[in-house]
A = this chain, B = another copy of it.
């Protein structure tokens, strides 16, 4: 008997996102009030918590869908779920490595720029000229690694 907003609050999800999950078949279609509003069971809360938590861990919706399917059929071997998690772990480690390199480089850039004009700004120099770069970005444009906007 939970309204969508309650579900949203309890899981830190936006209402629209929950409807989106329903739309793409990740969440089951809930019951409705006479007036047409969604009303959820505690099971739905669990499922959404699972989804959100998995998302926070970096799983894609496809991976989550896969895991939910496995979870819905408890006779499946644990092995498969574990493989998904292991694959995920490797990716996380990879991503951490890359970010550490970026951090090194950005720190260096930021600390070296003390006042002055853009004309002789270290940040721009480093960005303009790859050779000033300490870290390697050899495999640029490779599949599987998306560049994510931060600023």
Chain B residues with CB below 8 A from A76, complex form: 117-118
Residue ranges of A at the interface with B (Cβ–Cβ < 8 Å): 11-14, 46, 49-50, 52-63, 67, 70-71, 73-82, 84-89, 91-93, 95-96, 99-100, 102-103, 105-107, 109-110, 113, 115-121, 123-124, 127-130, 133, 137, 140-141, 146-151
In contact, B140 and A52 (Cβ under 8 angstroms): yes
Chain B residues with CB below 8 A from A81, complex form: 113, 118, 121, 123-124
In contact, A92 and B99 (Cβ under 8 angstroms): yes
Task: Name the residue of chain B whose CB is nearest to the CB of A78.
Answer: B121
Task: Name the residue of chain B whose CB is nearest to the CB of A140.
Answer: B12
Minimal beta-carbon separation of A57 from chain B (angstroms): 5
Each complex incorporates copies of this chain amounting to 2
Known: A11-B140, A80-B118, A99-B99. 15 other contacts (CB 8 A): A53-B130, A57-B106, A62-B151, A71-B124, A75-B117, A78-B115, A79-B115, A81-B124, A85-B109, A85-B123, A88-B150, A92-B99, A92-B103, A92-B150, A96-B99
Task: Name the residue of chain B whose CB is nearest to the CB of A149.
Answer: B60
Instruction: Indicate whether A140 sits within 8 Å of B56 (C-beta atoms), given known contacts A99-B99, A113-B85.
Output: yes
In contact, B151 and A59 (Cβ under 8 angstroms): yes
Task: Name the residue of chain B whose CB is nearest to the CB of A144.
Answer: B150
In contact, B151 and A87 (Cβ under 8 angstroms): yes
